[in-house]
């Protein structure tokens, strides 16, 4: 599974404006609304379920990375937004460090497989420090897409 198969190239935020956890998720969801990946009528429902998921344990898995995720019957396929934060955001991360890199995933309601594969795929790439550093050095959306596509082509 390639990241660019589910990451919407129009849902990339170069510097997240929000500073609170919930607002950051709202901002990422809005990116998916702007990119027409999800309908704005589903906004509150999705944000609420993302918040509910976070209350079970933070998706900020350490090393400056968070993968907030949820399921929604409003999508047919897995969709994802990407966001960077230069200043870093307090996301109750497992290692206590602020988060700079966000992948927000929304999977169809009835699926377990694609969701898990996407998490595996994203984790594999983000485990690489050079990849994480590379993402943070990107200056525009095109650079983000280029660096992710390069990795997509490298490993399966």
Partner 1 sequence: MALVKKKLVVKNKQGLHARPAALFVQVANKFESQITVRRDNEKVNGKSILGILMLGAESGSIIIIEADGNDAQLAVEELEKLINSEE
Which residues lie near partner 1 (CB under 8 A)? 56-57, 59, 61-63, 65, 67, 69, 94, 112-113, 115-117, 119-124, 126-127
Q: Decide whether 62 or 88 has the Cβ nearer to partner 1.
A: 62
Q: Decide whether 32 or 103 has the Cβ nearer to partner 1.
A: 103
Q: How far is the CB of 86 from partner 1 (least distance, A)?
A: 22
Q: How far is the CB of 124 from partner 1 (least distance, A)?
A: 5
Within 8 A by CB and 6+ apart from 153, the residues are: none
Reduced to 3 states (helix: H, G, I; strand: E, B; else coil), residue 2 is coil
**Beta-strand pair 99-108/79-89:** antiparallel
Q: How far is the CB of 151 from partner 1 (least distance, A)?
A: 14
| Alpha carbon distance 156, 140 (integer Å) | 26
Q: Decide whether 15 or 110 has the Cβ nearer to partner 1.
A: 110
Nearest to 136 by CA among 98, 94, 95, 85: 85
Q: Decide whether 62 or 108 has the Cβ nearer to partner 1.
A: 62
H helix or E strand, kind and range, residue 149? helix 141-154
Q: How far is the CB of 17 from partner 1 (least distance, A)?
A: 26
H helix or E strand, kind and range, residue 82? strand 79-89
């Amino acid at each position: 599974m390639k990241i660019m198969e589910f990451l919407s190239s129009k849902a990339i935020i170069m510097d997240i404006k929000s500073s609170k956890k919930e607002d950051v998720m709202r901002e990422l969801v809005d990116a998916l609304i702007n990119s027409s990946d999800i309908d704005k009528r589903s906004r509150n429902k999705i944000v609420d379920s993302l918040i509910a998921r976070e209350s079970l344990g933070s998706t900020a898995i350490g090393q400056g990375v968070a993968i907030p995720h949820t399921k929604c019957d409003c999508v047919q396929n897995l969709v994802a937004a990407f966001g960077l934060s230069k200043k870093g955001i307090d996301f109750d991360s497992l290692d206590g460090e602020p988060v700079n890199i966000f992948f927000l995933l929304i999977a169809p309601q009835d699926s377990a497989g694609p969701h898990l594969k996407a998490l595996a795929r994203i984790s594999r790439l983000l485990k690489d420090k050079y990849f994480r550093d590379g993402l943070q050095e990107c200056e525009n959306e095109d650079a983000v897409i280029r660096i992710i596509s390069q990795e997509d082509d490298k490993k399966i």
